[in-house]
Structure formats: structure tokens, C-alpha cells
Chain A
Amino acid sequence: MRIETLRQLTLARFREFTREPEAVFWTFVFPVLLAGGLAIAFRDKAPEQAIIAVVAPAPGDSAAASIAAALGATRAASDSAPLRARLIPADSVADVLRTGTAALVVQPLPGGAVEYRYDPARPEGRAARQATDDVLQRARGRADVVTVREVTVRERGSRYIDFFLPGLLAMNIMGSSIWSLAFAIVTQRNKKLLKRLVATPMSRLEYLLSFVLSRLVFLGLELAVLLSFGVFVLDVPVRGSLPTLVGMAFIGAAAFGAIGLLVSSRSRTVEGVSGLTNLVMMPMWIFSGVFFSSSNFPAAIQPVVQALPLTALVNGMRSVMLQGASLGAVLPQIAVLGVYLVVCLAVALRIFRWQ
């Protein structure tokens, strides 16, 4: 092993990457834009008004008007979600529910009774039904019997962007690790550059190590950019120790680097390796809990979901950032990533096509 060889190979990787503006964009700029966009979409807002559609068979219908008046009065009361009533003609009920422009439709029935129509699968439908029912019952004289004192809490780190940022970091580590190796190695193989390099005294270990080294440098940059954007611009908390978080990122990058090496160990064309790469990454985008919690999936497939390397990295980074988990607490995730690292590396080195 020669330091100069390793340095020159790593420098070459570095130069090739930084001279490819598109690669720089997708690795550094795009994740920041994505995080920024999602932060805007899920920014703090006043609790939303639920719109209640009240069916008025004819304009000026008295039953409908009195229901609407009772609902309108809630704005003053200290109810959780303020309601806003809207009168609609009878023939647009289906339309309103289908387009979701109202959370609940209230239909006055003869004899002062009412009918609620809503979709119980939508949380805002259930909440609107509850709130509307309370208002109407009280308006007809139902008395509350328990005295209630309310304390509302806003915990830092409970926003969607707080949940999403660790997932985005992990997904970015997966994507850049697998892609940078797969693309560079297969391109060199395709252009017979790999064959040319093997014909020199360069050792194969030096070649593979240069990828590891350049990945680590870029990983450091990626982490610095995305994490400081998250912490300083989006105010996402990092409750655990920074070294644990960075260590987690590095073992994740190493594991995905090994997966990238395995993916690119045989392919001769970039098209071929692109398909393989997508095949490997697609299930993890869906199942690994980047965008929503992986615990939403049925218990039957949980063993598979939890064994995915991205699930391990997402869960590990998320618990370090949001719950302040210690190194000991994320050891199971580190173990999963370690297994991928060792197994994929061993297989890749056995089957690697050097020419």
C-alpha cells in the first residue's frame, strides 16, 4: 500500500465528482431544497377551522339557519377547534363530501332531529362530528357536569420536519453512497479504465479504499450542510450527542458503500446498474420510515421492515436526534448496519469483475 497511490486515486475521485455539477446539485443542494420545502409545507399554523356544511332545502330555511347560528357562536367559546358553518343546497351534499370541502354535513330532519354525514376514515371528519355534536347538544340545553381546566403544550421536536430531517439525512447517505460507487465503478469498467488500472502495479485494495476515503470526505460535507441547515434554519433539535450521531452516519455510509460495491460488482453498463440500484433502494424508500413511521406497516412484515439497513439508520439517527438516545441505545441498529457492511463487502470482493 502506497500513500501516494491512495492520495492520487482519492484526489481523482474527488475531482471527478466536483467537476460534475449535476452530482453536486443532487448530493448537496437538492436535499436542502427538499427539507426547506417540507418545512414550509408543514410550518406552524393556527389550528385549522373545520368547515361544517349545513343543508338548507330552500334559501332562508329556519332549521338550517338556527343550526348555523349555533355553530357560528362557538368562535367565542373556548372549544378546541373553531367551527365554521356554511349553508349548502340539498343537491350538492354528495359533491361537498366527495371533494372534501367540508369535514361534515349536517342535515336538519323533521322534529328538530339532525343527521351527520362524514367519512370516519378522515380524522378531521371524526373531530368535526364530535365538536358539532357538542355545540348542538349544548344549544338545546345539555349541561356539562365536569369542570375542565386545559393546558396546551408545544414540545420542540414534535413537528413533521423534526420527524422528517433524520430520515432525509439517512436517505441521502444511502443514495449518495450507493450511487457514487455504482456509477463511478461501472463507468470505469465500461470504458475499460478499470482493466487499464488493473494492468498497473496499483493494488486492488488501494483502488477500493480510495472510494471509501472519498466517500467519507463527502459524507462529512453532506452531513455538515444538511445538519446545520436543519439545526440553524429549521430549528430541529439534536438531543443526543453529536459524536454518536456522526458515528451512526459513518457506519451507515460504510454499510451502504458496501451495498453499492455489491450492486456494481458485475454490471458492465450504467443502464444495468441503474436498474439494480433502484431495485435495491425502492423498497427502502417505502418501508424504512423516511416519510412516515415504519410502525404503520402490519405486524406480519415488521421483521422484514426492521431488518432493512435504511430502517436501522433512520431509526438510529431519529432516536439520537429527537429522543437523545445514547450510543448503547442504538447498538441494535449499529449491529444491523455492521452485518450488511461485512456480508456485502465479502460477497462483493469475491464476485467483483475487474475487467
Chain B
Amino acid sequence: MNVDTIQGYAGGDKGEDTILLTNIEAIPGKNIIEHFGLVSGSTIRAKHIGRDLMASLKNLVGGELKGYTELLSESRNQATRRMVRQAVDLGANAVINVRFSTSSVAQGAAELYAYGTAVRVE
């Protein structure tokens, strides 16, 4: 059984920039040549006390909590980036059937997990 382990595959920024991400089963108009299994990226970020105080104040007047929105979207971006890096490491150029999952494992921290199947399409 041939196991091909690539040490430090340098997909580089180019690979990351052009990767395709979808949450459907295939890329329309392209063929899937090979797949590399599951790839995932996770992150856990905490907000600082400043945002905490602003949030408590906002609890009184209502409105969008911009601080938290930023925090969560940064988390999502970082999780996706990590997943993409792992996919590029394996030699993929697309990740299909991407799923996000969040869980509250700590108060005041946003934990985000992105996983999908790394494939090479043409």
C-alpha cells in the first residue's frame, strides 16, 4: 500500500488564494479527479474586557454588537484559512461540502470549526 506523505508541501499563498470552497457536493462544470479525505481548521478567540463592557452597555440600549460581530467573523476567517492551508498542503485545489460548527466551550470565547473534503478538480 503506497502511502505518500509529503513533508512541508509548499502550496504557498498562490494555492491558498485560488482554492475553491463550496458546501455542495461538486463544483459545477468541473470534474473531481481525486480526493484527499477530510481537512479541517479550527480556532478559538477570546474577546477582551473592553468589548465585554461595551456589550453590557449595549444590553441596556440595544443595537448591533459590532465588537462581537467582528470577533466572530475574524474567527470564521481564521478557521477557513487554516482549513485551506491544510488542503493546499495535501495538494488539493478545492474543498467541497464545507461545514461550519461552533460550540461554546468557554464563556467570552468564540470557537469555530470548519471542515470539508479536499479534492483536486479540473
Q: Do A and B come from the same complex?
A: no
